Copies of this chain bind each other. A is one copy, B any other.
Amino acid sequence: MLTSTVRAVQWVNEGPKGGSCRLLDQKRLPSEENFHDYADYRLVSKAIADLTVRGAPAIGVAAAYAVVLAAQEACTLPENGRRAFFDDALHTIAVSRPTAVNLGWAVARMGGLATGRIDADLTARLLREALVIQEEDIAFNNRMARLGSDLLREPVAAMTYCNTGDLATGGVGTAFGVLRQGYVDGKVTHVYTCETRPVLQGLRLTAWELAKNKIPFTAICDNMAASVMRARKVGAVFVGADRIAANGDAANKVGTYALAVAAQFHRIPFYVVAPSSSFDLTLASGEGIPIEQRASEEIVGVLGSNRPPYAMSTFNPSFDVTPHELITAIICEKGVIVAPDTKKVEMVFR
């Protein structure tokens, strides 16, 4: 079984006054490894919004801890003010970012426990649940890593996108867990990591995790992926997901769709690796998935001091949707859904 190289999200400092949520500041990676301890749910919500913590499963775990922080703070208030404060906090946490369904899923799961009096007992129950959410994520990561590696019949160079490892999850990762397990198993010989513009999660974070795990890799610009597929015979693509609809359509970091199109063109298997918490079965298809639009600055900022003297109109969706027809299989802790569609997803979730 794989173990985490680094914990991006964890609960720390538990004591009489409660504990804190510790986050690794992913914005400063790879040059600096800074951890911050948050005792205020608002700051965790902000950390989710500004990408200090990112990756759908990691956001879910961080959100669960944020709910515990909100309960801790509620307990310091007069009893008649606690419920309104707590419900407001839950809402704030849930809307930190729109696309990853794990966020709403974690808040709903935690909120569902908090039906009665908001007190120290409830806070303790919420903390246990948040720890269970992280423990489950760790176990699911390992299960998916095993399932994914076992899908590979022979050693291949694999391609991945964005970041889906320790940093993006509670445990060893989704797609990245498969790459790690595959490397251990001798099934993955090399990894191509796409840089993932504009926030460069692939160049900054996945490259960092690959280096930490001593897995041989090559970083490329996103626009080179199709050429690499054509020339270098990449044998499989593994990506994560932020929200998967009932028919298997999967939202993931923008650029995933382009990669899926290229993989189909080159007849390279394209795998989505995501836990059941990333599924949103209330949505029939990917069309209903809300896509976060982010600031123009994320794109234009690459120019640094070399700014244009005119306003730049940009389009900066943080995610795109890969239709299920382009997905070879979804690897979930519940099983591998080959050639996913509504019926097959339903069978796994029955």
Contacts and interface: CB of A to CB of B under 8 A. Distances in A.
B219 A196 contact: no
A208 to B, nearest CB: 6
Interface stretch (A64-72, A130-138, A141-149, A257-265): A257-265
Interface in A27-47: 28-31
A278 to B, nearest CB: 20
Contacts of A317: 224, 227
Interface stretch (A84-92, A267-275, A299-307): A299-307
Contact of A226 (B192, B194, B258, B304): B258
Nearest to A228: B315
A28 B306 contact: yes
Given A225-B258, A303-B203, A31 B309 contact: yes
Contacts of A310: 30, 208, 211
A302 B207 CA distance: 14
Q: Name, among A258, A259, A299, A315, the residue most crowded by chain B CB atoms within 10 Å (CB to CB).
A: A258
A208 B204 CA distance: 29
A312 interface: yes
A166 interface: no
A200 B262 CA distance: 22
Nearest to A227: B320
Contacts of A105: none
Contacts of A228: 315
A28 B302 CA distance: 14
Nearest to A28: B306
Quickly give the copy total for this chain. 2
Nearest to A198: B221
A314 interface: yes
B203 A302 contact: yes
Contacts of A207: 308, 312
A258 B258 contact: yes
Interface string A308-324: 11101111110010000
A230 interface: yes
A255 interface: yes
A82 interface: no
A254 B254 CA distance: 19
A76 interface: no
A180 interface: no
Contacts of A259: 223
A227 B204 CA distance: 24
A230 B257 contact: yes
Contact of A222 (B31, B221, B230, B261): B221
Q: Name, among A227, A303, A314, the residue most crowded by chain B CB atoms within 10 Å (CB to CB).
A: A227
A197 interface: yes
Q: For the complex of A and B, list the 4 residue pairs with the smallest distance between their C-beta atoms, beginning with the closest.
A: A223-B255, A226-B258, A30-B308, A222-B223
30 contacts: A28-B306, A29-B306, A30-B308, A31-B305, A31-B306, A31-B308, A200-B302, A203-B299, A203-B312, A204-B303, A204-B308, A207-B308, A207-B312, A219-B312, A219-B313, A220-B299, A220-B314, A222-B222, A222-B223, A223-B223, A223-B254, A223-B255, A223-B258, A224-B255, A224-B258, A224-B315, A226-B258, A227-B257, A230-B257, A264-B265
